[in-house]
Each structure stands twice: as C-alpha cells, then as structure tokens.
Structure 1
C-alpha cells in the first residue's frame, strides 16, 4: 500500500530537507500529508512547489512525545534522516510508531553506502542496531503489515561542487555541508584510495529527494532501495573533471599502507571517518554489490556526473 501520511525526522536540513522538497513536489498530485519532525519548532514550516510541510518539535528521548504527534497526524510512514548523535534516536522513533495504529512503513537513515557493507567505519556501525530492530519487527508482524527499506545513494555528487566560483555557486551543495570528497576541483587535485578502479555510486542530493518521494508511492517496499545518478570509478570521474575543467589534475593514489600511516590518536571524528572509509573502499566494502533497483522502479531521470560538472564548473 502506498504511503499517504508521511513524517520526515530531521527534515529541516541536509539530505532531510531535500527529501521534504521531493515530497512537497508530488504532494498535491498524490494528496499527501507531510510533516517534519525536529528538535525545535519553526512556525513557517518548509515551503516548496506551492506546498508547505509543518515543522513539529519532538523530544527524541521521549517516545510519548513522538507518539502523540504521529497519532495526531495518523502517520503511516516514517522517513528518518537523523545523523550524528541523533542516529540512536531512531529506536525511539520506531517504538513510538509501532504504538500508532496507522503506522506501517519505516525508512532508516541510510542515504550513503549500505551500512551493513562497511562495518569497519564507526559512522556506519551506529546505523546497524536500527536495521536489526526493523528486521525483527518485520518478522514479528508478518508480510504485508510492516515494511522497511534502506535508501542507499552512494556518494553525494554535490561534494564535487566545492570551491566553484559561479555567482550562485553555493547552490551546488544543496543543503549539504561544504567540503570536497576524494576529488577537490577547486585545487585540481584528487586523493584516491587504492588504484581508483573500483566502481562507486554518485547521486545528487536533489535527485535523492525525488527518488525517495517517488518510492513512497510504490505499492511494495523492497528491503533495499538502491539509487544512482551514475555508477563510475573514481578514475572515470577524474577524467570527466579534467575534460570539463580543461586541465590535468594532480592525482595521488594511496595504498592501504599509505592510509594506515595517516592514523593518529589526535584525529578528529571526520578525519578518522575518512581514513576508515578509504580502507573500506580499498578492501572492497564499498563495491556495488546489488542491481540499482530504484532507478527501474520509479520514473526519475537523475543528473549525471558530467551534467553536474558542466553546470558548476564549465
């Protein structure tokens, strides 16, 4: 059964806001009810494409607080985009939802590479408990009464926009943080784990929002909803960057030993996470291991890497 009354947790920023905008774009067409759950109330809500979603404050540590809101709006689907320290709150979200009669769908905060593939990365390890809980709930409730799916999109294409000098260049990032990932077009450099020949998924954040919105209107949710703007190797992406920018990049290829040598107890959490990701990529944990199914299930035409680069760097 399709989703009709949807709550987006953490939908007031980053990838969550892109998903809210994707839902608002189809809201009138499918007569959807959309709310945004946030730690703080914002009276203006989120407006996009002629529709608005209210932002409702909840205490993620208080299941009753969440349950009251979900029950009031008769929510049937929860999409979590909680990140950082908020990831643990997904358990409260799920338990609160299970106490609401209308609730039947849950999407945990994935929106990257499949967490179960990259268990050597602490950031992804935080996401594993909710996956186990979802598997247990689905087994207990039986087929048809509860569904969950993991929306995996690989690397956000928007990180390739870091440092562009277009007048509206900040829009290249969407609502995401501003930093380069592997490839820094502003410096014409790339810091590549391994030989750069393993396939990786790139998807624009705006397209992630469209994919997720379209997926809410599928009659059945598969446990994996893999999407892609494009599947390429890092070397292929670098070549396109060079073609669009018209200059050869300074590319450093790193062996596993090179990466391990960067480890230090003084690293901050982000730097540590980058090193862990590099090792996971070299070890094959980031490989594309399933067919990209969501591209075939919904009618979304995502932006390619070349199209993105031509928009922000040509």
Structure 2
C-alpha cells in the first residue's frame, strides 16, 4: 500500500529537508500528511504552498516517540538521522523503529542511508558501520511480520551539489541546496581535481533536490524493494573531469592519487570518526568493488533527474 501519513526524522536540515520538500511538492496531489521529527524546536517547514509541522522529540525516549507517531497515525517513517557516535546515530534509529512498531498504523521504514550502500562500503568507512545494526533489525522484523511490514535502503551516490562549490553566479548559493558547502574530488573554483586511482571507476551523482523527489515518489509505490537505488547520472571520474573542463572552458590541474598517496593523508590518531571520513571514501573508490546501482528507482517512478552536464552548465557555464 502507498504511504499516506509520513514522518521524516531529521527533516529540518540537509538531505532530510530536501526529502520533506519533495513530499510537500506532492502533498496535495497524493493527500499526504507529513510531520517532521527534530531534536530541537523549529517552525513549520513550508514549501510548494503547503507545510509540515516540526515536532520536537527525544530519540532516547521510546514512549514519547510512540506517542507522537501514534497521535499522527504514521504509517511510514523515513530516517535521515546522523551523528558521529553510536548513541547519536545507531541508538536513535533503533529507538525510533521500536517505537514505530508499537503503532498500529505503522508499516514502512527507510533507515538513514541516502548515499552509497552501507553494506558495500562499511569495510572502508568507519562511520557507515554504525548504519549496519538497523539494517539487521529491519531484516529480522520483516521475517517476523512479512505481511505487515516492509523497509527499503534508499541510496543516491554522491550529491551532485558539491560540484557547485565556489561558483560565482548571482544566486550561486542555491547550487548547494540545503547541504554543506565544500568540494570533493573536483574543485571547479580552482580548476583542479584530485582523482583517486586511475579515474576509470564509475561514480554515481544525484542532485539533492532530485533525491527529495525520488524519495517522495517512492512513498507512492504499492510495494518497496529492499534496495531502491537512484542516480542522476553514472559516469567514470575521468568522464566527469572532462565534462568539468569542457563546461568551464579551461584545462584543470589534475592529480591521480594512488592507494599509498591516500593512506598517507590519513590521520593515524583520529580525534573522532569524522577525522578520516572523506579520505576513507577515497580509499573505498580505489580498493572497493564497483558500486552497484541498477537505478531501479529511476525505472519505477516518473522523476527526471538533472544530469552532470546540465548541472555544470547551470552553475559554471557562461
């Protein structure tokens, strides 16, 4: 059955906000009720002429979470929660899931993925290991409730918006959406790239705004597959680099970093799990298996995402 009463946990910022906006865009058409769960008080989120209330919650208190979800008769929970410690990340999602299971209307859960599949890259990126316990819980619950519960791991690859870093367009800040502002691998503001490996590894890019629309459309599917993967475009790093040069109309200063180069950049005594996060991501590109993204969600819903060239031309073209 399609989702109708949806709670987005962590929906006040970054990719969570894009998902809320994607849902608000179809709210009236699909007769949706949407709430946003947040650790702090915040005003309603307004978009596309409608809004979603923000409900402050304590993710350490299952009974209070259950009360909120039950009050709004939530049938679908989408988690975009994040954190740098197991307490802030793993425990919060588990409490949210357990609370939802006590709500009669509840039947769907999407954990906080929305990047590359955690099970594929957790060997390299320590932060993603905190995403694994909730996946195991979801699989166990589906075995116990095969006719009344489903979940999906929804992934989009890298956010295309990071390619907009440093652009000087009049409204250039819109290139980032609600995401943080920084370059990754490609820094078009400096006409430079530091490419891990030989550049022939395929890379999945999806614009954050399109992620929101894909997720919103996925809530209207009659059934969820375990993996729902989307992509704005899948290109090799070399193909992306050549597009950057072509759109900017200039040669880039390009470095190809070997595995040894990348390992040398790592802090041997990291202060926290984020210290080596982005460097670990580069190592995953060099050492990992090819990222599997069959783009099945692209085929299941009617969303037309922006491609890399179109995005580059919008924010870097003359």
- Give the TM-score normalised by structure 2: 0.96
The question of 1:203 aligning with 2:206 is answered: yes
The question of 1:128 aligning with 2:132 is answered: yes
Map 1:226-245 → 2, pairs under 5 A:
226-245=229-248
> Structure 1 stretches (4+) deviating beyond 4 angstroms?
266-269
Residue matched to 2:144: 140
- Unaligned ranges ≥5, structure 1: none
- Choose the corresponding residue for 1:162, options 160, 165, 186: 165
Could you report, residue by residue, the CA deviation over 1:171-203 in whole angstroms, capped at 9, with x for unpaired residues?
100000000011000011111110110111000
Structure 1 window deviating more from structure 2 (91-100 vs 118-127): it is 118-127
CA distance in 1, matches of 2:136, 2:270: 30
The question of 1:311 aligning with 2:314 is answered: yes
Could you report, residue by residue, the CA deviation over 1:132-188 in whole angstroms, capped at 9, with x for unpaired residues?
11011001112x310000110000000000000111111100000000011000011
CA distance in 1, matches of 2:254, 2:275: 19
Residue matched to 1:87: 89
Do 1:87 and 1:109's aligned partners in 2 also have CA atoms closer than 8 Å?
A: no
CA distance in 2, matches of 1:160, 1:200: 13
CA distance in 1, matches of 2:169, 2:206: 21
CA distance in 2, matches of 1:267, 1:124: 16
Could you report, residue by residue, the CA deviation over 1:254-302 in whole angstroms, capped at 9, with x for unpaired residues?
11111112222355644401221111111134x2324210000000000
Do 2:120 and 2:291's aligned partners in 1 also have CA atoms closer than 8 Å?
A: no
- Choose the corresponding residue for 1:302, options 302, 305, 314: 305
Do 2:210 and 2:305's aligned partners in 1 also have CA atoms closer than 8 Å?
A: yes
Map 1:105-116 → 2, pairs under 5 A:
105-116=108-119
How far 1:36 sits from its partner (Å)?
Answer: 0.1
Query: How many pairs are equivalent?
Result: 311
CA distance in 2, matches of 1:87, 1:222: 24
CA distance in 2, matches of 1:61, 1:17: 22
Q: Tell me the SS of whatever aligns to 2:119.
A: coil
- Choose the corresponding residue for 2:258, options 255, 259, 264: 255
Map 1:282-297 → 2, pairs under 5 A:
282-285=286-289, 287-297=290-300
Q: Tell me the SS of whatever aligns to 1:116.
A: helix
Do 1:152 and 1:226's aligned partners in 2 also have CA atoms closer than 8 Å?
A: yes
Q: Tell me the SS of whatever aligns to 1:158.
A: helix
- Give the TM-score normalised by structure 1: 0.97
CA distance in 2, matches of 1:123, 1:256: 20
CA distance in 2, matches of 1:174, 1:271: 24
Residue matched to 2:68: 69
Do 2:230 and 2:293's aligned partners in 1 also have CA atoms closer than 8 Å?
A: no
Residue matched to 2:182: 179
Residue matched to 1:38: 38
The question of 1:190 aligning with 2:193 is answered: yes
CA-atom RMSD, angstroms? 1.1
Do 2:152 and 2:228's aligned partners in 1 also have CA atoms closer than 8 Å?
A: yes
Q: Tell me the SS of whatever aligns to 2:89.
A: helix
Do 1:240 and 1:306's aligned partners in 2 also have CA atoms closer than 8 Å?
A: yes
